[in-house]
Amino acid sequence: MSEVLHLENKRELFVDYYLTDDFDGTALKLHHPAPADIAIKYDQPWETESTCASFYTTVFQDGDIFRMYYRADSRYVCYAESKDGINWDKPNVSLIKHDKSKNNNIILPDCQIVFSPFLDTKPGVSQEQKYKANMERAGFKLDPLKKGLNFYSSADGKQFIRIQGDPAIPWTIPNHFDSQNVIFWSEVESQYVMYARYMVGPDGKTIDNDQYMYKLDLLSNSKDKYKASDFPTYIRSTVRSTSPDFENWSEFTPMEYSDTDSITPSAQLYTNSTIPYFRANHIYLSLPGRIFFGKIKDPKIMSRDTDSEDYGDCSDGVLMTTRAGSNRYDFIFRESLFRPGIGDENWTTRNNYPTLGIIQTSKTEISIFVQRRYAQPTAYLERMTLRLDGFASLNAGYDEGQMITKALDFTGNKLELNYSTSAAGRIKVEILDESGTPLEGYGIDDCDDLIGDEISGYVSWRGSTDLSKISGRPVRVRFVMNDADIYSLRFEN
Amino acid sequence: MGSITIGNFRQLFFDDYFIKDMQNVSRKLHSPVFREIVLSSDSPADKASAMFMVVLKDDGKYKAWYRCDHIGSPEVRNPRHAAYAESKDGIHWEKPSLGLFEINGSKDNNLVWMGPGSNLAPFIDSNPNVREDQRYKAIIRTSKADQHHPIIGTSGGLDAAVYGLVSPDGIHWNLIQDTPILTEGPFDSFNIPFWDPLIQEYVIYTRGIGGVKDSNSQEENIDIKSIEYGKTTWDFFGGVRWIRRSTSKDFINWTPLQDINTGDTPFEHLYTNSCTPYHRAPNIYLMFPSRYVIEHTPDNDWIHGEGVNDIVLMSSRDGINFDRTFMEGFIRPGLDIENWHERGIYMEKGILQTSDNEMSMYLSEHIRYPSSRIRRLTIRTDGFVSVNSGFSGGEFISHDFILEGDQLELNYSTSASGYLKAELQDLEGTPIPGFSIQECPEKFGDEIDGIIKWNNKENLRELLGKSVRLRVALKDADLFSLKFLK
């Protein structure tokens, strides 16, 4: 008998196989976000005068407002704000001069690669350090000992100052944190968690950083003699580290990937955008940008800052998930979450990367944000929407199917579902004991039909939703359904 | 193995007409995206409802006709009128002041018909022999409300008749004759007429009764007045709500109504057919019937009755035999609780091409609520059904056909990881040199009209007139349609 899952009253999503045991005529289904509107156009002079490579956006909710941070034009860190997560303003923060004026939304002058902030929700965190950030310290000419990650903090989310050493985290892993590195306070783990970019061998083995640096040195100092293609293909991937205090960090642990059962994912994952899901913070959703080098849709439409052969590529966004404390990503849905789409503009390098951050923009809807037209004068950030909890579902077609969960217990007294059926569809739920025998009063024939479309619907048996009699007892749950989706469930108090 | 005729018609994948065999790919239904509310019942003329709409493009603008129910007295059913709206983009609709009919003491409204009859369903008559003053035609259905009408009341068409209307402009309408053009009811809800260019005849799709013991002679078997509405599935005159078709060469004389046939799929209540030839492949008829599921009543307190509706998608190549590969709901009532009662949503008639990449369709929702309104939905051009392959890839092979084009155009979408490749084979299944899958570079991207090329072959001219079959390999991709261009 396998271990019993303790759901307590946490929400579970159908984004992985954590809950599920036996499928018969049902399957997990990925849902694709719908394009909604343009959140930000990168159209100001300080966003368009150089490379137009505005990129690496972070979005989070902070009380009544939403904050957004992004690299503008390969040089500035810029800031935007919104009351609803839909309509975004670039406030005049008056901090940094551009073209003799501080009338702009620039908050830092020297963005090396990525400025990646977060709202520190650690209990007791001081107001001065309420906002923290990391930024890669890079540059080909920089002394390797100076390279690494720098840390910043801020009291207002706009004026950031550097804290700790320079760098705070030295360059010890291959590929020197070369994209958006994510740090957040995990309420579930009670520690800071970092998901950082590094490179791994194509064979499921780590690479030696000294070797990597040596080769990089050869590449950068003698461009005529060596080309990137002279070296083995390294795969962009993610390492994890944790810290109790934001100062002392554990050794980097390579993340494993379920698609290959190894630390080498099946594709180059440029970013990881890993974030606790705000409705189930023990589940971390990860929206990597996935890049395919050498896949050039049309040489004529390559972006303007891309004379190097390294920039002939296309990319899209995918969904992975991991769980608090885990060193493994579930990469179940290998098809893209969203595609580059119609029009050549997004079939160029570094396009279509999901930003870091998933926010709720209505009672029923979440928004994610996607970089479009990278390094083009018309570059913008697109908002896309999904149903609340709606990245994936347990789905059944017209013919009735079922899914039986693993053995689990819970602390609540009623079962809440986020579900949708057609007019012809319905959902029924049966509670079984560990051996698979229906519990009296909770059989399939006792269950009232669930027909409709609700973010919060309750399962009832002969008119009663009460589960207090079986709360705490190991059970299995059998979902019998047709033409329906279940997006999440929760045993509610 | 039988061969198929495709000519230069666009091939879509609603049914298995084109595809003979699939490996690790499947046909996938794509539901439209809900967009904005485009028409509300918010003016004096239409404040009780906005539903049963027909949209079409004419004279460079989009035109719509819809039923608007004026609020009547408590004893009298709301009078049902027809109103007109116009739009430049299919999104923003205006209700012009036409000054034709008086309501509440004013002619400042967009009404175009106040009876007899209701549920005005117009179309543009593209019959090459059409009279200029009859360029627009329409049908209405009569009901008890018309019993005192001077023409209807004496013509024997009461409660179960369809009348023909003509108009030079879609605004000014007249009965084409004083007698009905169809009399074998039921005709409740929305009956849809159009000129069918494929058979060069007029057609009407109406309400009918399906699933009765002998479906070929059901009219004779049923005494409509003797049957009570019941509480079982088979509550509609002893059967299920169903759809029938009649055809006519002159819009006056019509063939006996014939049931549509959905093969061996189970009978469900299907009506408000919204039937239309698909504008990018006029040899395919699409239907978006309302599926009424009387056994499912989410709201037991709903005063108007049991059941709940959604929209399904079916297709046909002869207008009578409809394919129901997709039994799942095409459009669910969704998160809006005011759509979760009987007759809560209906698909409107007409698909508008509102950009090269996108088509708009219209859904009436909140029916029976004061907020009754019409919402725009969008779907990719040709994007109803795709041949879909996941990350691991797959392929399909077509039936045999005679090649009558010199370029292969695909409406397709891939992820960054995905691609499509094509191969032409002879009837033995041997790849034709120059057109093998090995000689086809990976096609990736997202295009409505992408052209497949082979390494050394720009076009297919050398194969014109030959019998071939098409093999397509795809990975993390959708193929929405294909066409051999002349």
Instruction: Please write the tens of the pLDDT for every residue from A60-109.
Output: 999 999 999 999 988 899 999 999 999 999 999 999 999 999 999 999 99
Query: d(Cα A317, Cα B476) in Å, to the nearest integer?
Result: 13
The rounded distance, in Å, linking the Cα atoms of B382 and B12 is: 7
Instruction: Check CB contact under 8 Å for A453 and B444.
Output: no
Pairing state of beta strands B51-58 and B61-69?
Answer: antiparallel
pLDDT of B390 higher than 60: yes
Task: From chain A, pick out residues whose CB is under 8 angstroms from the CB of B447.
Answer: 342
Mean pLDDT of B21-49: 90
Q: What are chain B's domains?
A: 19-30+385-485 (2.60.120), 33-380 (2.115.10.20)
CA distances from B177 to A338, B150, B208 (A): 55, 13, 24
List the A289-293 sheet strands across, edge first.
A268-269, A289-293, A313-317
How many CB atoms are located within 10 Å of the residue A106 CB? 24
Q: Which percentage of chain B shows pLDDT scores above 70?
A: 93
Question: Mean per-residue pLDDT for A110-132?
Answer: 94
Question: Residue A347: which of B307, B357, B445 has the nearest Cβ?
Answer: B445
Q: Residue written as tokens 């009298």?
A: B76
d(CA A173, CA A209): 6
Taking the C-alpha atoms of residue B463 and residue B432, their distance in angstroms, rounded to an integer, is 9
By C-alpha distance, the chain A residue nearest B329 is A422
Half-sphere exposure of B182 (CA within 13 A, CB side): 33
Question: Cα–chain-centroid distance for residue B92?
Answer: 22
Q: What is the pLDDT of residue A294?
A: 86
| Mean pLDDT of all residues belonging to chain B | 91
Test the B interface: residue of A339, A348, A352, A374 with most B CBs within 10 Å: A339
Percent of chain A with pLDDT over 70: 94
CB proximity B216 to A under 8 Å: no
CA A95 – CA B360 distance, rounded (Å): 47
Please count the residue pairs, one from chain A and one from chain B, whose beta carbons lie less than 8 angstroms apart.
109
Residue A421's closest chain B neighbor by CA?
Answer: B332
CA pseudo-torsion sign A300, A306, A308, A312:
negative
CB atoms A339 and B292 under 8 Å:
no
Cβ of B417 within 8 Å of Cβ of A336? The answer is yes
Mean pLDDT score of chain A? 92
- Residue A208's pLDDT is 86
Which of A238, A488, A265, A268 lies closest to A356, judged by CA? Answer: A238
Q: List CB contacts of A454: < 8 A, sequence separation 6 or more.
A: A417, A418, A419, A420, B335
Pairing of strands B51-58, B33-40: unpaired
Residue of chain B with shortest Cα separation from A420: B334
Task: Pick the closest to residue A107 from A92, A121, A122 (CA basis).
Answer: A92
Mean pLDDT, rounded, for B232-239: 69
Which of A424-433, B61-70, B178-187 tops mean pLDDT? A424-433
Judging contacts by C-beta atoms under 8 Å, the chain A residues touching residue B327 are 397-398, 424, 483
Between CA A252 and CA A73, with CA A320 as vertex, the angle to 5 degrees is 75
The conformation of residue B3, written as its DSSP 8-state character, comes to E
pLDDT of residue B210: 87
Q: What's residue A349's pLDDT?
A: 87
Give pLDDT, residue A408.
Answer: 97
Verify whether the Cβ–Cβ distance A339 to B446 is below 8 Å: yes
Segment A144-149 shows an average pLDDT of 82
Find, in chain B, the residue whose alpha carbon is nearest to that of A314. Answer: B416
> What pLDDT score was predicted for residue B49?
80
- Whether the predicted pLDDT of A225 surpasses 70: no
In this structure, of A201-205, A332-336, B319-323, B344-348, the range with the lowest mean pLDDT score is A201-205
Query: Is the pLDDT score of B207 beyond 50?
Result: yes
Residues 6+ apart with CB under 8 A from A9: A410, A411, A412, A490, A491, A492, A493
Q: Judge: B416–A34 Cβ closer than 8 Å, yes or no.
A: no
**B91 within 8 A of B38, measured Cβ to Cβ:** yes
Residue matched to tokens 């999104």: B91
Longest Cα–Cα distance in chain B: 77
How far is CA A164 from its chain centroid? Answer: 27
**B417 touches A at CB < 8 Å:** yes
Judging contacts by C-beta atoms under 8 Å, the chain A residues touching residue B475 are none
- In 3D space, the residue among A299, A382, A300 whose CA is nearest the CA of residue A341 turns out to be A382
Confidence at residue B156, expressed as pLDDT on a 0 to 100 scale? 62
* Low-confidence winner among A294-308, B137-151, B243-257 (lowest mean pLDDT): A294-308
Q: Check residue A303 and give its pLDDT.
A: 58
A408 close to A490: Cβ distance less than 8 angstroms = no
Name the DSSP class of B97.
-
Distance from the B165 Cα atom to the nearest Cα atom in chain A, whole angstroms = 35
A454 to B335: CB separation less than 8 angstroms, yes or no: yes
Best mutation target among B295, B417, B419, B449 (most A Cβ atoms within 10 Å) is B417
Query: How many C-beta atoms lie closer than 10 Å to residue B255's C-beta?
Result: 13
Q: Taking phi first (over 0 means left), then psi (-120 to 50 degrees means alpha), and beta for anything else, what does residue A24 get?
A: beta
Chain A residues in contact with B414 by the CB 8 A cut-off are 339
User: A258: phi > 0 → left, psi -120 to 50 → alpha, else beta; which?
Assistant: alpha
Q: In angstroms, what separates the C-alpha of A334 from chain B's closest C-alpha?
A: 6
Q: How confident is the model at residue B229 (pLDDT cuts 50, 70, 90)?
A: very low
ipTM over 0.85: yes
Residues in chain A: 493
Give the contacts of B39 (CB within 8 A, at least 6 positions apart): B50, B53, B64, B66, B85, B93, B373, B374
The DSSP 8-state label assigned to residue A90 in this structure reads -
Instruction: State the pLDDT at residue B80.
Output: 86
pTM of the model: 0.94
**Mean pLDDT across A259-266:** 96
Average pLDDT value for residue range A311-337 = 95
Collapsed DSSP state (helix, strand, coil) of residue A310? helix
Residue A152 identity: Y
Beta bridge partners of B322: B316
The span from the CA of A64 to the CA of A184, in Å, is 20
